[in-house]
């Protein structure tokens, strides 16, 4: 099993310059929308307008009404988006999670940026402090309360996702009770208030499998704005082997050697997570021996 080229590309970087320094300048932003060649991406919560395998670009003057957002700039192209409640059928709406694997890395970065904002705007129409309806500001990246002047910023919820290996370099994979049979993946969970990422890795593995973990190494991250997660990936060195699953968050967990996992996948007796996921990338990296487990 070789690593598909798209796995790392799809989440490891986001190519557009976000131009945050221009978000305060309403005049500058209006001029970008009025430019004769302005073209915009149309996005709704969880959906994006597609043109085959590419993001659809609609001339700014023909875009449906909605919240105007500055995504940034890639090369010479200004990246603008409009957030709507529902994308008109003739613009080719598609769920980002299914379209994402066909997009280029640059376009995937634009899509998750835009959809993350769309999801946040949908669920945060009122001031969290005083309840007054808020207004959009700073080119779509802030909501301001006209009553108490509070500024509200898009939220991101960190989650840890980790591949633990034991002293024999076997990997710990588990399956959620709701998943299709024979599907296994890395363990994951949300970070709690006041907790470091490393402690979250150790706590989640202990809660779900009773395996103790020592050293934790950062591997990479993936925005997952469905609705607002950032998946932070780690490799972890297990210091114990015995597994006791909680039966609640995890139905089964096992240690797999590289040979065993490769054979099971080849025989379609076990299914791994999708190509465009950090869990798959962690597994593929371990299969190649690139995880540097136990200080190897
Ligand atoms: Zn307020």
pLDDT over 60 (residue 1): no
The predicted pLDDT at position 13 comes to 59
212 and 238 Cβ atoms separated by less than 8 Å = yes
Starting at the earlier edge strand, list the strands of the sheet with 142-144. Answer: 135-137, 142-144, 151-152
User: How many CA atoms, within 13 angstroms, populate the side-chain half-sphere of residue 75?
Assistant: 3
- Band of pLDDT at residue 290, cut at 50, 70 and 90: confident
- Band of pLDDT at residue 8, cut at 50, 70 and 90: very low
Q: How far is the CA of 150 from the centre of ligand 1 (A)?
A: 5
pLDDT tens column, 141-161: 999 999 999 999 999 999 999
The predicted pLDDT at position 276 comes to 80
Q: How far is the CA of 156 from the centre of ligand 1 (A)?
A: 21
120 and 228 Cβ atoms separated by less than 8 Å = yes
Q: How far is the CA of 27 from the centre of ligand 1 (A)?
A: 26
pLDDT tens column, 50-98: 999 999 999 999 999 999 999 999 999 999 999 999 999 999 999 998 8
215: left (phi over 0), alpha (psi -120 to 50) or beta: beta
- Reported pTM: 0.89
pLDDT over 70 (residue 3): no
Query: What average pLDDT score do residues 127-139 get?
Result: 97
Domain boundaries, the chain: 8-127, 157-295
- Band of pLDDT at residue 12, cut at 50, 70 and 90: very low
pLDDT tens column, 179-216: 998 999 999 999 999 999 999 999 999 999 999 999 99
The predicted pLDDT at position 115 comes to 95
pLDDT over 50 (residue 4): no
The protein residues having their C-beta less than 5 angstroms from ligand 1 (an ion) are: 127, 129-130, 132, 145, 147-148, 150
Nearest CA-CA partner of 57 in 140, 74, 85: 74
Instruction: Classify 157-295 by CATH class.
Output: alpha beta
Query: What average pLDDT score do residues 109-116 get?
Result: 94
Query: What average pLDDT score do residues 88-115 get?
Result: 92
Q: How far is the CA of 137 from the centre of ligand 1 (A)?
A: 14
The predicted pLDDT at position 291 comes to 86
- For all residues of the chain together, what is the average pLDDT? 92
Q: How far is the CA of 149 from the centre of ligand 1 (A)?
A: 6
- Band of pLDDT at residue 9, cut at 50, 70 and 90: very low
- Spatial separation of the C-alpha atoms in residues 15 and 34, rounded to whole Å: 24
Query: What average pLDDT score do residues 248-275 get?
Result: 95
- Band of pLDDT at residue 5, cut at 50, 70 and 90: very low
The predicted pLDDT at position 216 comes to 97
């Amino acid at each position: 099993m070789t690593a598909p080229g798209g796995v790392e590309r799809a989440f490891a970087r986001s190519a557009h310059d976000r131009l945050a320094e221009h978000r305060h300048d309403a005049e500058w932003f209006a001029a970008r929308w009025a430019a004769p060649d302005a073209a915009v991406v149309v996005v709704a919560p969880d959906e994006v307008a597609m043109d085959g395998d590419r993001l659809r670009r609609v001339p700014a003057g023909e875009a449906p009404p909605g919240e105007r957002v500055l995504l940034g700039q890639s090369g010479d192209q200004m990246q603008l988006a409009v957030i709507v409640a529902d994308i008109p059928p003739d613009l080719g709406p598609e769920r980002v999670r299914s379209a994402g694997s066909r997009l280029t890395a640059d376009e995937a970065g634009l899509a998750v940026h835009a959809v993350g904002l769309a999801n946040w705007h949908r669920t945060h129409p009122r001031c969290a402090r005083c309840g007054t309806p808020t207004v959009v500001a700073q080119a779509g990246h802030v909501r301001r309360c006209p009553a108490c002047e509070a500024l509200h910023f898009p939220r991101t919820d960190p989650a840890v996702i980790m591949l633990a290996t034991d002293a024999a370099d076997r990997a710990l994979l588990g399956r959620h009770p709701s998943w299709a049979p024979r599907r296994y993946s890395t363990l994951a969970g949300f970070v709690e208030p006041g907790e470091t990422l490393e402690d979250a890795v150790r706590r989640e593995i202990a809660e779900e499998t009773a395996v103790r973990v020592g050293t934790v190494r950062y591997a990479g991250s993936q925005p997952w704005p469905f609705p607002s997660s950032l998946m932070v990936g780690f490799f972890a060195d297990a210091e114990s082997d015995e597994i006791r699953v909680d039966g609640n968050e995890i139905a089964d967990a096992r240690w797999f050697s590289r040979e065993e996992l490769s054979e099971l996948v080849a025989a379609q007796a076990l299914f791994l997570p999708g190509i465009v996921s950090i869990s798959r990338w962690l597994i593929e990296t371990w299969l190649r021996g690139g995880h540097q487990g136990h200080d190897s």
